Amino acid sequence: MSDTKYTALILGATGLVGSNVLDLLLKDNKYGRIYTVSRRKIAIEHDKLIQIISEIDDIEKHIKNINITHIFSCVGSTAAKTPNQTDYYKIDLEYPLKVATTLKDTCKVFSLVSSIGANPSSKNFYLKLKGEVEEAIQSVGIETVHIFRPSLLLGDRKEFRLAEKIAQILSPIINLLLFGKYKDYRSIRARDVASAMVNMAAGDKKGIHIYQTSHIKEVA
């Protein structure tokens, strides 16, 4: 396996989890080439890195002729950044689905960051959307799909989120109160989620696999 050269594409490489996935893949000799997709250039230079600058609507023409073995989808908006629900769906669901469908002939593994509580039948918009994303990606027919459902993510975001910052400060205390069937609601470092994604993508599991917070920490 050490001589294997995978080719990866990262969606959301500037985000909290995606930036950690990018860092890990650039250091991993199993990956010969890493593509990122973003609207603006990332301030990173590396021999293995190829940056694709594109809007969501134009993504297909930029990726249709490249062979990708592993896709890492770390995209996700917020109600504050994307108050329009149609635009929210476009970013969180249509975007990764379009990429998965375009690259399904060469892609062997799709790794998706979802959320704890994701459920297409939920009355909560966010959790319903995440559940629909999971279903959509599974329907594409890619050989292996890893779905990661973390709780509160710990790490330094580029943008400031007040509620999340407060939750991060309180998380050590809250985590002590979450045990048994509630342990999957404990906070988790974004780096651990990224490590779990990279570790499982390079494994030999086939089919659909879902990881809750405690399981993510085990495979990180």
With beta carbons less than 8 A apart as the criterion, state whether 35 and 68 touch: yes
H/E element holding 23? helix 16-27
pLDDT, tens digit, 9 for 90 and up, residues 92-137: 999 999 999 999 999 999 999 999 999 999 999 999 999 999 999 9
Q: Report the C-alpha gap between 32 and 162 in whole angstroms.
A: 39
pTM, entire model = 0.89
pLDDT, tens digit, 9 for 90 and up, residues 153-173: 887 656 555 555 665 665 666
Closest CA to 175 of 143, 217, 137: 217
Query: Could you tell me the residue ranges of all domains in the chain?
Result: 6-219
Close Cβ partners of 19 (under 8 Å, ≥ 6 residues apart):
13
Which CATH code is given to the segment(s) 6-219?
A: 3.40.50.720
